[in-house]
Structure 1
Amino acid sequence: MPALVADDHRGGHPLRWGSLGLIGAWLALSIGLGVALPRAGQVGSTVLTVILGLFGLTLLVWSAVALTRSLRWWSLAVIPALVVLLASGVYSSSIALAAAHPPHPVRSGTPDGAREVRFSSEAGVMFAGWFLAGDNGAAVIVRHGAGSTANDVEAHARVLNEAGFSVLATDARGHGLSEGHGMELGWYGDEDITAAVDEVLGRAHPAISAVGVLGLSMGGEEAIGAASSDPRIRAVVAEGATGRVAADKWWLSETYGLRGSLQNLLDAGTFTLTDLLSPAEMPGSLDDAVRMLPQHTEVLMIAAGTVADEQLVAERLAAAAPSQTSVWVASGADHTGALTTDRHQWRERVIAFYQDALLTPPRGSVTGQRIRVRHRAGSGSTSGSLRYCSQQTGPGVNPTASQCRCTAA
Structure 2
Amino acid sequence: MIGTARQQAGAHPADRSHLVVDVLTAAAGAAGAGAAFLVGADGSAAWRVVRVAAVLVVTALAMYVIRRGPPVLRAVTTFVLGLAGVAAGAGIAVPHLSKAGWSPAAVAGLVLLTAGLLLFGYGAVGTVWSSPGWSRLATGPAVLLVTVVGLFTGSQAVAATNVPRTGLRSATPADRGLSYLDARLVTADGVILSGWYLPARNRAAVLLAHGAGCTRSDVLEHAVVLARQGYGVLLYDARGHGRSGGRAMDFGWYGDQDVAAAVAYLRQRPDVDPARIAALGESMGAEEVIGAAAGQPGIRAVVAEGATARTTADWDFLAPVYGARGRIQQRVDEVTYAAADLLTDAGPPISLRAAAAGIAPRPVLLITAGRVPDETFAAEYLRDGHHHVQVWQVPGSGHTGGLSTRPDDWQRRVTAFLDAALRPQT
Aligned-residue offset at 1:354: 0.5
Query: Residue 87 of structure 2 is aligned with which of 30, 33, 38?
Result: 30
Secondary structure class of the residue paired with 1:177: coil
2:168 counterpart of 1:107 = yes
Q: Distance between the aligned counterparts of 2:383 and 2:273, measured in 1?
A: 32
Q: What pairs up with 1:308-387 in 2 under 5 angstroms?
A: 308-322=373-387, 324-361=388-425
The residue aligned with 2:130 is 70
* CA offset digits 1:359-404 (Å, max 9, x no partner): 243xxxx6xxxxxxxxxxxxxxxxxxxxxxxxxxxxxxxxxxxxxx
Is the Cα contact below 8 Å between 2:201 and 2:271 reproduced in 1?
no
Alignment check: 8 A CA contact 1:22 1:86 kept: no
Q: Does the 8 Å CA contact 2:128/2:139 hold for their aligned counterparts?
A: no
Q: Which runs of 5+ in 1 are unaligned?
A: 1-5, 367-409
1:207 deviates by: 5.4
- Distance in 2 (alpha carbons) for counterparts of 1:39 and 1:179: 18
Name which of 370, 379, 382 aligns with 1:305. 370
- The structure carrying a bigger helix percent of its residues is 2
Q: What is the deviation of 1:52? A: 5.2
Preserved contact between residue 25 and residue 57 of structure 1 (Cα < 8 Å): yes
Distance 1:222 1:94 in 2: 22
| Pair 256,294 (structure 1): closer, same or farther in 2 beyond 3 Å | closer
> What is residue 274 of structure 1 aligned with on the other side?
340
Give the Cα–Cα distance (whole angstroms) in 1 for the partners of residues 217 and 385 of structure 2.
Answer: 33
CA distance in 1, matches of 2:107, 2:216: 30
Question: Is the deviation greater in 261-270 or in 112-121?
Answer: 112-121
Within 2, Cα distance between the matches of 1:214 and 1:274? Answer: 26
Q: Distance in 2 between matches of 1:355 and 1:57?
A: 56
Which residue of structure 1 aligns with residue 77 of structure 2? 20
> Residue 242 in 1 paired to residue 302 in 2?
no
Question: Per-residue CA shift, 1:135-178, capped at 9, x if unaligned?
Answer: 11100100000011111100000000011111000111111111
Change (3 A) 1:203 1:304: closer
Residue 282 of structure 2 aligns with an amino acid whose one-letter code is L
Question: CA, structure 1 residues 249+188, in 2 after alignment: closer, same or farther (shift >3 Å)?
Answer: same
**Structure 1 contact 172–182 (Cα < 8 Å) conserved:** yes
> Hey, what does 2:57 align to over in structure 1?
none
Q: 1:329 is matched by which residue type in structure 2? A: Q
Look up the SS of the partner of 1:179 in the other structure: coil
* Cα distance in 1, alignment partners of residues 144 and 158 from structure 2: 21
1:80 aligned onto 2:138: no
- 1:190 paired residue among 256, 261, 271: 256
Flag the 1:330–1:155 CA change in 2: closer, same or farther, 3 A.
Answer: same
2:267 paired residue number: 201
Kept in 2: contact 1:212–1:236 (CA 8 A): yes
CA distance in 2, matches of 1:52, 1:174: 23
TM-score by length of 1: 0.81
The aligned residue for residue 354 of structure 2 is 288
Q: Is the 8 A contact 1:137 1:209 kept in 2?
A: no
Report the counterpart of residue 208 of structure 2 in structure 1. 142
User: Unpaired runs of 5+ in structure 2?
Assistant: 1-5, 17-69
CA–CA distance in 1 between the matches of 2:248 and 2:385? Answer: 30
Aligned to 2:185: 119
Structure-2 separation of matches of 1:320 and 1:177:
40
| Secondary structure of 1:292 counterpart | helix
Task: Report what 1:404 is aligned to.
Answer: none
Show the 5 A alignment for 1:393-408.
none
- For residue 43 of structure 1, what is the aligned residue in structure 2? 101
Seen in structure 2, the aligned counterparts of structure 1 residues 200 and 55 have a Cα distance that, compared at 3 Å, is: same
More strand by share: 1
Kindly provide the amino acid, as one letter, of the partner of residue 304 in structure 1.
A
Cα distance change of structure 1 residues 340 and 92 upon mapping to structure 2, 3 Å threshold? same
306-315 vs 88-97, greater mean Cα deviation: 88-97
Give the whole-Å Cα distance in 2 for the aligned partners of 1:346 and 1:132: 20
Q: CA RMSD, aligned part only?
A: 2.1
Alpha-carbon distance between aligned partners in 2 of 1:334 and 1:85, rounded to the nearest angstrom? 33
SS in 2 for 1:118: strand
Identify the range of structure 1 (245-254 vs 151-160) with the bigger mean alpha-carbon deviation: 245-254
Q: Classify 1:14/1:79 alpha carbon distance in 2 versus 1 (closer, same or farther; 3 Å).
A: farther
Do 2:275 and 2:300's aligned partners in 1 also have CA atoms closer than 8 Å? no
Alignment match, 1:373: none
**What's the CA shift for 1:258?**
1.3
Is the CA contact (8 Å cut-off) linking 2:79 and 2:127 kept in structure 1? Answer: no
Identity of aligned residues (%): 39
SS at match of 2:393: strand
Counterpart residue number, 1:257 = 323
